Structure 1
Amino acid sequence: MSRHRVAVTGLGAVTPAGVSADDFFDRLLAGESFVRLHTADAPPRPVTQPAVHCAGFDADTLLGRPIASATDRSVQMALAASFEAWRQAGFDRGEKVVRPEFGVAWGSALGSSGTFERGYKEMWQNGRERLPPMSVVIGMSNAAASQISIQLGLANASLTYVAACSSAASAIGEGYKRIRDGEATLMVTGGSDVPLTYATMKAWEALRVIAVADEAGAPASCRPFHPARSGLVLGEGAATLILENWDHAVARGAPILAEMIGYGTCSDASHLVRPDPAGQVRAMRLALADAGLSPDAVDYVNAHGTSTVEGDAIEIDSLRQLFGERAPAVPVSATKSMHGHLMGAAGAIEAVATVLALRRDALPQTANLDTVDAACGGVRHIVGAPLVGSGARVALSNSFAFGGCNVVLAFRKADAA
């Protein structure tokens, strides 16, 4: 089977910085945390947690009322991020062209869960006997992939991946494989999640892994690798990567932002919530083997780094195992310290950050990390300021999820091929 090179030709992101991948990354480089106290209201009392909420997101303005009224917030964000990436890749959404060689692979842990929560409230709180007739198709798990396919005329595979916090990374990896193996010319990939509903926030609260509000203020609440880290911070948003056959992209003069060169995925097959360093190492080695590289080629790791006590230490242990004696020289950062944990969309927003880190030669820092926990030492943590001018050429983006799902994406700077 012939192997095709895969270019990244478009990026999109929905975050508190707006619908802009570049603005999102600018604020990462500035070390700005998007974390604030967020309240979800429901009887008998509201729940308030440190969280990342896209308060300024206006679907009616961005998408138009007909699309916004027929979609869940998570799908609205998916469309907004995908439209941005589509434009950057050089396509016009106004062209009503159906493309059998273009497809979509999308990830989400929760899908359109907000639609169903609102439905339950209407029935049990407000006494409504019937729900809107489109509730099922608005709330179905593949709603985002379906809407992206319809709006952009993507008639190749329409794929949806649900793998907890590695959902989007799985979607990006599987979309990459379709292009690499010649099954598609272009794939719109990424993920979206909106976990800031009352039920979801209470469920995570019950699991006892949510960060407490930091005394210095909510923005400092997410502190990966810090001795005082207290848990993860939920965030909402979406991110898109347009992956494209390299030759096709070159032929049409598309902007090549980076090259995707590897994808590794495996299961720990051991525990629902406790990560296993052996599985994480295996996924990283699989991604590097797919890329035809050794660990010595890696210049940067965007860590999963959720800010949980056990998870952070285990991931750093896996990095020490992978890099061996070279580990203290390998730059590592966890951007969740600023944008929070976007659940099923996390792997996509972090892949966007990784691609832009290579493109701009600026590796973002881990925010709020003035002291490194001894259990998380032995790598080169990027602290205080971004690492600019490192000349990084190859980077890994890690996503390690509940259920033991490990996904690693490998990217190369576009001019380093």
Structure 2
Amino acid sequence: MSSKVPSDCMKMDPVSGVQNQEFYVDKDGTSRVDLSFVEEPLGLPGSEGYGWPQLEFGDKIGPDLRYEIKRKLGWGMNSSTWLAYDIGVNDYVAIKALTGYATELRSRGRIWELEALQRVSGSNNHCLHLLNEFTHPGKGSSGEHSCFVTPVYGGDVKTLWAQHKNFPLPLAKRMLLHTLRGIAHAHSKGVIHTDLKHDNIFFSSLLSRQDIDATLVSNPPRRNPPEASMDGAVCSAVTQPLPPPSLDDAMKCEYLIADFGSAQLFDKPKELEVTSAPLRAPEVLLLGSWNEKVEIWTFGCLIFEFVVGRSLFRHESFRDPVKDITLDNVAYHLYQMACFLGEVDFPPEVLQYSRLASTYFNTDCTFKHALPLLLFSIRGQINSTKKFSPEDVKSTNEIVKRCLELNPADRPTAAELLNDPWFLGVE
């Protein structure tokens, strides 16, 4: 994976001996640089939206220097995650270290990851468990890093999908039931995750401490070649996740919701847009008021994805060449909802409090565009895979439709959905 940094942010002198920099002079005579990074762009300021932690293998960090960094497990938009050895308990842990920018947002009360983790951690096995938290001073221009210590998990469902390309229905149901338990627990604690997706559903590790020891010996931690940055030459660590389990072993794993970096609290102000675009509920697309029921819509989309193997909705523009009608991303997404669910009109309860309702709908709740409604049943799409019995097609369609109610008031709560017949016999 590579990371490209916008050139309009970068004004710096050349760094010798590295190949990831391209200098040029813009129209006003200012020298600028394009920087391309193999992984997370180290050495760029936290104050400008960056600030990934610059950790070395063997670094000892945290209270009483109890955590020794062993390897990088992964990185994302706002953090990197590391395998560390906890000398306090003589076992491995994972440490998620936020960027300097994200840490600053947290200190200003703009993100509530720590508060969310503190609320959901405890007796429930299906939400990320926080063992400890601390602030690491960081290096160079990165700023400070909020660090969250958790157990070592085996990886995420996205990685498992990439490895196996298919989830048998019993495994898909197990993953989804555990995820739903996590959602219900989070909601009971006043937390809305808002970013449920394959990457943010983790599974437990079946590896012992001795297994991890052996992995570090057979596949030792590595670093990428030097790269130029505003802090000079830097070398990012190579992402080396733990080996994924077989499908048989995956049936033995526990699944849980992780990465509460976008979490919203029931008692805090809510941001306007949440959730990955294809998984957004109609009230989010329309910039309306929303609550925890957005997660039920997303969960219904995830059921379809796990079972069928592709997204239900496409968040993209569309042009009908016959009628010469073009729909933007939101209009086409809403149109798909109507087609898949067989809803001619959107409920006035949703449109009444949505800022974009007048952009896409008439006062009688009909679409402003003139495309005819084409019915593509969700049941038909599930059946088209030719993988399931008629009974499985019927029950899967019913739980998906139960989640995908256009009016959030008509969707079940997560706790109610746990009793759906689709989950009978699932552990």
Same fold, TM-score > 0.5, yes or no: no
* Bigger radius of gyration: 2
Which has the bigger relative contact order, CA under 8 A and spacing at least 6? 1
Instruction: Tell me the TM-score normalized by structure 2.
Output: 0.27
Instruction: Tell me the TM-score normalized by structure 1.
Output: 0.27
